[in-house]
Amino acid sequence: MTKRFLRKNLLLSLKIVWGFVFKGVTTNLSLCRELFFSKSNVDDATLVRYMSRFREDSKVVVDFKALSHALPSVTCMKEDGTACWLSDNNDKDSTLPWRIVIGGEEDRIVDSEGVQETARYLGTKALLLSEVPHDLMLGDTACWRKAADLIAKQIELNSNL
């Protein structure tokens, strides 16, 4: 995904690095809004409150290099991009719980291709919500309602599984 981001949008890639590696999302209002909330109607006071929480969260450091070698997707993926633990006929595999992968079309951190890859790995379809940013549950009511309604609908559709 990183190489795809660099090829697709170098400026956005640099903003993501600035936001995460250099913790710009903890101090820069416009960067935080762009990366996490996009066009969502989050007021400045709420955004400042979230930024203080991001600051607290950023004290924990994740070693992504070490993590990338331990991810099951690296060591357990078939040639078609699905998880090795999925049967070739996973739609009929009653031993697996149903899976749901939801992404936002306005997400600046996980692009739609990343959402599609995750869904393929889990043997399900990706569901993309229009006008929804990365931190949809922290955004305005319209964003989290879209996600909640979609999840409720999927539970209803899959309740017989």
Q: Dump pLDDT digits (tens) for 2-56.
A: 788 888 899 999 999 999 889 999 999 999 999 999 877 889 999 999 999 999 9
Q: How many CB atoms lie within 10 A of CB 136?
A: 26
Nearest residue to 107 via CA among 58, 40, 41, 35: 35
Q: Quote the pTM value.
A: 0.81
CA-based end-to-end distance of the chain: 32
Q: Token pair for residue 123?
A: 């043997």
Judge contact between 57 and 39, C-beta under 8 A: no
Q: How many CB atoms lie within 10 A of CB 103?
A: 22
pLDDT digits (tens, 9 = 90+) for 150-159: 999 999 988 7
**How far apart are the C-alpha atoms of 122 and 27, rounded to whole Å?**
36
Judge contact between 138 and 104, C-beta under 8 A: no
